[in-house]
Amino acid sequence: MTDDLPPAPNDLTGDLQALKAETDQALAAAPDLRAWDAVRIAVLGRSGKLTMLLRDLGKTPPEQRRERGAALNRLKDALTTAIDARRATLEDAALDARLASERIDPTLPPRPREAGLIHPIARTMEEIAAIFGAMGCTVSDGPDVESDWYNFGALNIPAHHPARADHDTFYLPPRGDAAAANSPPVLRTHTSPVQIRTMLLQPPPIRTVVIGRTYRADHDATHSPMFHQCEGLVIDRDITLGHLKGCLTDFLRAFFGLADLPVRFRSSYFPFTEPSMEVDIGWDRRTGELGKGGDWLEILGSGMVHPRVLANCGIDPREWQGFAFGMGVERITMLKHGIPDLRPFYESDIRWLRHYGFNPLAPTMLHEGV
């Protein structure tokens, strides 16, 4: 493409003619828009040559000022037109070069699309459901917003329990009626309310696991305001601690893929179980390797369902017994896959997911012995 520059005014004085010729030469030599912009600023910028001439117009003798001002204005119009024309020429050339370099060959095969990955939390939930499903358990679900009775009262949690405090629990605005104002709705602090709903809706025997979101007012490297829990409930006649220990030992060894994983049960206290037990697994504190070393790591809580909880759900504790347990899905995921920090689970960093994600076409495999 050729420059379409206007003819130079023939009534300019010598210095203005020289500036016009110098600018035309610089514009013609500018190879790209960056060089063009440098020429524009050198001529029309705040400290440009033409700008300085216009500022010095006041120093011209009065009898020459009118003629000098008219010549400067004609030169400004001519230079502005030339600069704009050169810009259009360079933009057209840049577009032509880009179109030539980015030309698409329609005969090439399409690029393969990158396959999506399964989030580690989702994969852990699939594995939990598969392992307990092989033990004969169903999967139950319930609402995230619960009443005080489902979340606390039916589970034998007393009014003075720290879990009921505002700094630990997310309470929602109370409903309109006076009764609800005394016990406002709550974002469930555990998935145990689903156990209550299951016992109210389904007569024993019961074998179920609950996997879902829970909410607590806590946030750091190992805690999140929203996290996931897995809880299990088994109700039948003649259920003992032996059944609980066998079930959890088989699950932990299957989930972590260690047939000889050491498992330890310690007496503890929970309002909704009696007796209650913490469950530990063997690990090496120095290396973090599971199943090695002589250290113990607490992994979940469990126990026999408290008779009051059974009675609250209309189940006769003299006829039926059961056990329950609960664990954090994020916690066991971090331990299994060596993830040191909880927060990246929810940061939507695609690089992190590419590292820790799972092939969506790979099935959840059960380990032998489950």
Of all residues in the chain, the percent with pLDDT exceeding 70 is 90
* Residue 297 backbone dihedrals phi, psi, to 5 degrees: -125, 125
Strands ordered across the beta sheet of 263-270: 138-140, 206-215, 226-236, 321-328, 295-305, 273-283, 263-270
pLDDT band for position 1 (cuts 50, 70, 90)? very low
Average pLDDT, integer, range 69-94: 90
Alpha-carbon distance 221 to 160, whole Å?
Answer: 29
CA gyration radius for the chain?
Answer: 38
Mean pLDDT of the chain: 86
Q: What is the 3-state secondary structure (H, E, C) of 292-348?
A: CCCEEEEEEEEEEECHHHHHHCCCCCCCCEEEEEEEEHHHHHHHHHCCCCCHHHHCC
Is residue 13 over pLDDT 50? yes
85 to each of 42, 50, 90, 98, how far by Cα in Å?
A: 17, 18, 9, 20
Of all residues in the chain, the percent with pLDDT exceeding 90 is 46
Is residue 294 over pLDDT 80? yes
The per-residue pLDDT for 159 is 79
- 211 with 125: CB under 8 angstroms? yes
319 to each of 183, 235, 238, how far by Cα in Å?
A: 32, 10, 8
Residue type at position 303:
G
The per-residue pLDDT for 342 is 86
Residue type at position 8:
A
Kindly report which listed range (119-133, 221-235, 270-284, 312-326) carries the lowest average pLDDT score.
Answer: 221-235
Average pLDDT, integer, range 219-234: 83
Alpha-carbon distance 76 to 25, whole Å?
Answer: 16
| pTM, two decimal places | 0.65
Q: What is the token pair recorded at 251?
A: 């699950």
- 344 with 352: CB under 8 angstroms? yes
With H, G, I as helix, E, B as strand and everything else as coil, classify residue 121.
Answer: helix
Q: State the angle between helix axes of 62-101 and 14-29 in degrees (0 to 180), rounded to the nearest 10.
A: 10
Alpha-carbon distance 234 to 232, whole Å?
Answer: 7
